[in-house]
Structures are given as structure tokens and as C-alpha cells.
Amino acid sequence: MNNKLYQRYQTEGVPMNVLGNMRIRSKLGLMLLLPLLALLYMSVSELSSRWSLSTEMDNLRSMSGVAVSASALVHELQKERGATAGFIGSKGSKFGKELNSQRRDTDSKLAAWEKTLAGFESDLLPPGARSKLTSAVNDLAKLTNIRNQTDQQSIAAKDAIGFYTRTNGEFIDMIGGMVAKTSDADFSRQLSAYAIICSAKNEPGSSGQSCLIPLRWVNSTKVSLPDS
């Protein structure tokens, strides 16, 4: 071995004629091994990509269920806010029947919301949306007390209205915050549009009639939003 070959051997750690000394069978095996390794790599990458996509789609379906249920509850809470304001404003002489009827409708959506929330992993939400969810749930725990004060005429209209507005705003912000956890452009656009529309509808004095997630979104997104 001349000096140049020796130096290359010392540097690279393998003799230059290693392939030349291999048997034909070994050479063929090596030639087949490299494409097989490349194919294996591509297969694993494809499976990983599909698994990630499947996981994201499952997460989107779960979040869409929460969004639909929350929007239905917000819709009823906004109507209860209006009936509550009328009842307090009339010192209990008007809107009593309407308020009681609306509370039953709210309670129906509240029960559905609690059922949905019980089966939902809140860790799926981005931190900001998860914080809003916690605040909304904490506020909902005060609903019975707000109703009792309303019945007893012991709460100012602005305070009662403020409770409903704040609670609804937290739900709306939670839904809007879901966009940070998805790469689905249609889903993100629709949630953002919902949050913008409902934020405006959540202002006191608004009817809130548009604060339901439109079912027409079902046909325009990859994720089928469940019926509320």
C-alpha cells in the first residue's frame, strides 16, 4: 500500500478496495438493500403523516362538537339576558312567563353542554382558549344565584346583564381561540367569522339571533360539524 492509500485508509478507516474485495452476492445484496431502506423510510414517513392527519381530524371533530354545543348555549343565554333585563326593568310586572320559558330552554342547552364537556379533553385546546373555557365554566356556576337575585329583584339590571354578557364573551373567545390549534384553513376561517359575528351580537341590546354556528358550514369544511 503506497503512502497516499495508507493515509486515506488511516483517515477514512476503511480500505479503498473493500468493494472490490466483496463477493458478487454481497454486492448484489448491498445494491438491493439501499433501495429497500429508501422505500422503508418513505413508507414510515407516509404512515407518520397519515397518523398525524388522522389525529388532527379527530381533534377537530372533538373541538367542533364543543364549539357547536357552546354556541347553542350562548344563543339561549343571550335570549335569557334579554328576558332578564325586561323582567328587572319592569320590576317583575312583565316578562315573567317569557323568562321562565326561556330559562327552561337555557337549561336544556346547558345540560347538553355539560354532557359534551364531560367527554372532552380540554388539553386539546390552545392555552388561551382553555383559559376562557375555565372562566366560562366558573361563571356558569353562578347562574342559579343570578336567577334567584333576579326573581327577588335584588340585583341591578346592569349587573345581571353584565353577567350574561361576560359569560357569553368567554365562550365566544374560547371558540375563536380554537383556530390556534388547527391547520385546516376552512375550519379556522369559519371559527374566526363566528367569533367576530357573535362578539358584535353579544353587545347589550343585541338580539343575539345569529350566535348559532351555521349548519351550512357542514358542507364547506373537511370536518363535519355535528348538529346541535
Q: Does residue 140 surpass a pLDDT of 70?
A: yes
In whole angstroms, give the CA distance from residue 216 to residue 176. 18
Say how many Å lie between the first and final Cα of the chain, rounded.
81
Q: Does residue 148 surpass a pLDDT of 60?
A: yes
In whole angstroms, give the CA distance from residue 93 to residue 192. 40
105: number of Cβ within 10 Å: 14
pTM > 0.85: yes or no? no
Could you tell me which residues come within 8 angstroms of residue 105 by beta carbon, excluding any fewer than 6 positions away? Answer: 76, 79, 80
150-171, pLDDT tens digit by residue? Answer: 999 999 999 999 999 999 999 9
Q: How far is CA 176 from CA 92, 115, 129, in A?
A: 36, 21, 8
83-98, pLDDT tens digit by residue? Answer: 999 999 999 999 999 9
In whole angstroms, give the CA distance from residue 12 to residue 5. 10
In whole angstroms, give the CA distance from residue 97 to residue 146. 17
- Of the listed ranges 30-39, 104-113, 145-154, the least confidently predicted one is 30-39
Q: Does residue 12 surpass a pLDDT of 90?
A: no
Tell the residue number behind the cell numbers 379533553, with chain if given. 121
